[in-house]
């Protein structure tokens, strides 16, 4: 039975990759275009800092860092509107915007490509402790996954998801602890970390949890790997003069090994190459949006035979195969 599911999963993955629209990798921002007062979704060129509109004129109201997520497979952007407790789904292909009420506000969002579901980390109705739940974009309903998580003080951007290992990570600010929540067996583990409070990203290609923050006894920003078992930090790029940073203004390209962030006080976009430690910065037309990174829709977006094309293909195949496996259970 399992082998049949895997075979079906692989076929679904192959067909889905072929059917996916071809698109280049792009850094996506959710914020304000120059001289506009309504929210928009646009691509940012990391080399020039120029904006390319994707969806404009989104009436978003009150938005908070960490309340956004991107579905890179179906090209859907999600965000929660704080003042109305609504979930918005923006289709990046046809520019359609849908909105539904949700039972409670305001969750931190992650999109799980492994199971094809939108995850929320927040409060279930009539509960005062944190939970992880799936959110149905069509109805806004919550389906509990792990409940009763004693999370304490949480901040936007201090969460990450491992879609392959089905692990949800978050940092607790008041105790400087890293929590790992296993979404399959509901086990919750916690370890102290040397310093708080980093912004988290999960590197699918490198299979590592990344932190962007301060190493112990240092006053400049760094990017480092965090061991979920011990809480130890391993420096990757140090001495980043980042200035004023805000929640949700970071993104990671797992294939290209590039970490992006926006510096609020100077309206600059920084690109940090984790392979050669090179840091580049460009001015942007406006500040300060919420960032996501979208990997190309199919490997054909890269030259045939290029190593990057096979990496992208592998990631998409794994993600969709995991989704098919999950639905076949």
Task: Specify the pLDDT at position 12.
Answer: 38
**C-beta of residue 100 within 8 angstroms of C-beta of residue 138:** yes
Angle at 195 between CA 155 and CA 169, to 5 degrees: 50
Q: What is the mean pLDDT of each run of 10 residues along the chain (329 residues)?
A: 40 40 78 91 96 92 91 95 94 96 93 96 91 97 94 88 97 94 96 93 97 93 97 96 89 96 94 97 91 69 41 53 51
Phi-psi region of 239 (alpha: psi -120 to 50; beta: other; left: phi over 0): left
Beta bridge partners of 161: 168
| Cα–Cα distance, 267 to 140 (Å, whole number) | 34
| pTM score, whole prediction | 0.84
Task: Specify the pLDDT at position 318.
Answer: 56
Cis peptide before 38 (omega within 30 of 0): no
Task: Specify the pLDDT at position 238.
Answer: 96
> How many CA atoms are closer than 13 Å to the CA of 327, on its beta-carbon side?
15
**Nearest of 222, 253, 280 to residue 46 by alpha carbon:** 280
- Angstrom distances, CA of residue 209 to CA of 131, 223, 232, 327: 21, 11, 11, 27
């Amino acid at each position: 039975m399992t082998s049949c599911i895997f075979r079906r999963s692989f076929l679904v993955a192959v067909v889905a990759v072929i059917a996916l629209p071809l698109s280049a990798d792009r850094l996506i921002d959710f914020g304000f275009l120059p001289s506009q007062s309504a929210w928009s979704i646009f691509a940012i060129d990391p080399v020039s800092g120029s904006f390319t509109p994707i969806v404009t004129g989104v009436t978003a109201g009150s938005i908070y860092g960490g309340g956004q997520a991107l579905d890179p497979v179906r090209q859907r952007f999600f965000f929660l509107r704080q003042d109305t407790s609504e979930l918005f789904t923006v289709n990046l292909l046809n520019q359609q915007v849908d909105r539904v009420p949700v039972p409670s506000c305001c969750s931190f969002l992650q999109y799980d490509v492994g199971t094809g579901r939108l995850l929320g980390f927040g409060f279930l109705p009539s509960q005062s402790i944190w939970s992880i739940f799936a959110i149905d974009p069509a109805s806004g309903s919550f389906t509990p996954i792990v409940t009763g998580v004693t999370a304490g003080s949480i901040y936007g951007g201090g969460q990450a998801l491992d879609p392959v290992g089905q692990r949800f990570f978050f940092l607790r600010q008041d105790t400087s602890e890293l929590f790992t929540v296993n979404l399959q067996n509901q086990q919750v583990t916690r370890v102290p970390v040397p310093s708080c409070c980093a912004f988290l990203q999960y590197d699918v290609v490198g299979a590592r949890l990344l932190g962007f923050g301060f190493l112990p006894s240092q006053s400049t920003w760094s990017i480092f790997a965090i061991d979920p078992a011990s809480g130890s930090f391993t420096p990757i790029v140090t001495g980043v003069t980042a200035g004023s940073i805000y929640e949700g203004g970071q993104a990671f390209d797992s294939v290209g090994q590039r970490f992006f962030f926006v510096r609020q006080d100077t309206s600059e976009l920084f690109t940090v190459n984790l392979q050669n430690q090179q840091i580049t910065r460009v001015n942007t037309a406006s500040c300060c949006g919420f960032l996501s990174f979208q990997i190309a829709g199919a490997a054909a977006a890269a030259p045939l035979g290029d190593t990057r094309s096979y990496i992208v293909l592998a990631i998409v195949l794994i993600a969709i195969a995991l989704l098919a496996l999950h639905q076949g259970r």
